[in-house]
């Protein structure tokens, strides 16, 4: 499922295969090898204990396996998807052992941050072995920039979207150099400083369209506005052009020196340029500051206050709610559609350091989905010592290197949704 605002975006038996095909379920990614029938009472903690459960294991590469779990055999009545204890559930689990796997776990997005791409296209274009959808993104809240991450977006050591202060945000941070993955909630601070005078202004966002205060919207000159607005840093990765509108924009070269200044917003940046946009009372403040050369100071820390070095090979995506921490379920109780049964995408690590990416299909009679509590229970049952809930609902997707979908998305006909970014495993070093 996708948020709509920033502040807060063992093998199947032949009979089972026939049943799933009759119900219209895709069996992409399943192969008749590694067949295992899980004894009653030893499967996933979903539904009744007597449910049949089968698992199919497939080796994608050395140290990389794909497991398809099907729990329950009979399609659910359409009016009981949210309540049935008989399932069925379809879970696809990608497990990467960084000790022996040859490759790197990374996060990737499409041509730019503002646009969306299907997970299968992101996997294929990055040359990845497999991958899943990742961050919450703006989606329909801003049709002009639907791919804008709602929270942390860290790509190859560059902070392209800032983490939120919302305690519900959960981040997955990847060091591709070592394939070490940690979960938690990063924090950040940002400021722009005039190198000559030492004067500075705090940054509000990175690569996020600023808001023009309603009280200032009709003013012919935004520099006279006295209502607080936003100060935002834009990088070339944002899109073909920066957001246009009232306010001010200052373009900087690679050294941070002012190239041009405008009393309106919206421009095209070269690969070596960045810009600062201001609205509200920040408009006049930015124009006063932007003389000569500016320094942009960005600092990131973990939830314990320890500094996170923004070095090459570091990636980070945003989820919503930690599911397990130090081996214990920590997801909070909640109500409403977000906590009800939905398709889910989860990511985390085992105590031994294996990386797990999983999708749980939902909103279908052939796979009903999981509540937030059920999702956390599945994460723990899969051995995830630390795990977070990534974007789910219609966004949930797992794909292989040729673009083949492993799971069945919840949209009509199993159509795949275009998303903001993805987590992928790229073979080779």
* C-alpha to C-alpha distance for 274 and 267, rounded to whole angstroms: 10
What tens digit of pLDDT does each residue of 60-69 get?
999 999 999 9
Q: Is the peptide bond before 88 cis (omega within 30 degrees of 0)?
A: yes
Domain limits, the chain: 1-186+302-429, 189-298
Q: What pTM, to 2 d.p., does this model score?
A: 0.90
CA-angle at 297, arms to 164 and 156, nearest 5°: 65
Q: Comparing C-alpha atoms, which of 373, 421, 360, 414 is closest to residue 172? A: 421
- In what order do the strands lie in the sheet containing 294-301? 200-202, 187-194, 294-301
What tens digit of pLDDT does each residue of 180-211 get?
999 999 999 999 999 999 999 999 999 999 99
Q: Comparing C-alpha atoms, which of 286, 287, 296 is closest to residue 189? A: 296
DSSP secondary structure string, 1-37?
Answer: ---S-S-------HHHHHHHHHTT---TT--SSS-EE
Three-state secondary-structure class, residue 421: strand
State the first-to-last Cα distance of the chain, in angstroms, to the nearest integer: 33
**DSSP code for 39:** P
- CA 336 from chain centre, in angstroms, equals 21
Mean pLDDT, rounded, of the chain:
92
Q: Comparing C-alpha atoms, which of 381, 383, 294, 390 is closest to residue 342? A: 390
* C-alpha to C-alpha distance for 375 and 370, rounded to whole angstroms: 6
* Neighbouring C-beta atoms of residue 42, cutoff 10 Å: 8
How much is the pLDDT for 22?
34
Q: Comparing C-alpha atoms, which of 66, 164, 139, 147 is closest to residue 108? A: 147
* Neighbouring C-beta atoms of residue 28, cutoff 10 Å: 16
**pLDDT below 70 — which residues of the chain?**
1-34, 429
What distances in angstroms separate CA 147 from CA 107, 109, 140, 392, one per listed residue? 14, 9, 9, 15
* C-alpha to C-alpha distance for 131 and 424, rounded to whole angstroms: 4
């Amino acid at each position: 499922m996708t948020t709509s605002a920033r502040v807060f975006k063992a093998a199947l038996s032949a009979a089972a295969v026939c049943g799933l095909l009759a119900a219209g379920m895709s069996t992409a990614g399943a192969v008749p090898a590694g067949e295992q029938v899980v004894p009653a009472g030893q499967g996933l903690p979903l539904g009744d204990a007597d449910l049949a459960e089968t698992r199919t294991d497939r080796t994608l590469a050395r140290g990389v396996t794909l497991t398809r779990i099907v729990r329950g055999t009979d399609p659910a009545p359409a009016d009981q998807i949210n309540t049935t204890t008989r399932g069925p559930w379809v879970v696809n689990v990608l497990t990467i052992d960084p000790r022996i796997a040859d490759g790197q776990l990374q996060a990737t997005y499409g041509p730019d941050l503002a646009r969306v791409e299907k997970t299968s296209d992101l996997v294929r274009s990055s040359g990845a072995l497999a991958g899943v959808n990742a961050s919450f993104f703006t989606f329909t809240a801003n049709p002009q920039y639907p791919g804008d991450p709602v929270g942390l977006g860290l790509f190859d050591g560059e902070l392209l979207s800032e983490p939120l202060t919302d305690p519900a945000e959960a981040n997955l941070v990847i060091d591709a150099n070592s394939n070490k993955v940690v979960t938690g909630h990063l924090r950040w601070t940002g400021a722009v400083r005039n190198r000559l005078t030492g004067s500075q202004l705090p940054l509000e966002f990175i690569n996020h369209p600023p808001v023009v205060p309603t009280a200032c919207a009709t003013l012919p000159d935004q520099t006279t506005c006295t209502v607080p607005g936003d100060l935002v840093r834009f990088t070339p990765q944002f899109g073909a052009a920066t957001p246009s509108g009232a306010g001010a924009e200052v373009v900087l070269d690679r050294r941070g020196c002012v190239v041009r200044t405008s009393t309106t917003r919206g421009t095209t940046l070269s690969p070596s340029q960045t810009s600062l946009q201001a609205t509200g009372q920040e408009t006049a403040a930015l124009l006063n500051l932007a003389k000569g050369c500016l320094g942009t100071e960005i600092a990131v820390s973990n939830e314990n206050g320890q500094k996170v070095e923004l070095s090459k090979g570091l990636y980070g995506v945003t989820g919503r709610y930690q599911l397990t921490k130090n081996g214990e379920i920590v997801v909070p109780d909640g109500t409403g559609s977000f906590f009800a049964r939905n398709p889910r995408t989860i990511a985390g690590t085992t105590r031994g350091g294996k990386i797990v990416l999983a999708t749980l299909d939902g909103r279908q009679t052939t796979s009903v989905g999981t509540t937030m509590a059920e999702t956390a229970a599945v994460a723990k049952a899969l051995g995830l010592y630390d795990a977070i809930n990534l974007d789910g609902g219609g966004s949930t997707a797992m794909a292989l290197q040729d673009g083949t979908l492993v799971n069945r998305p919840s949209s009509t006909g199993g159509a795949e949704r275009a998303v903001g970014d993805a987590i992928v495993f790229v073979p080779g070093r």
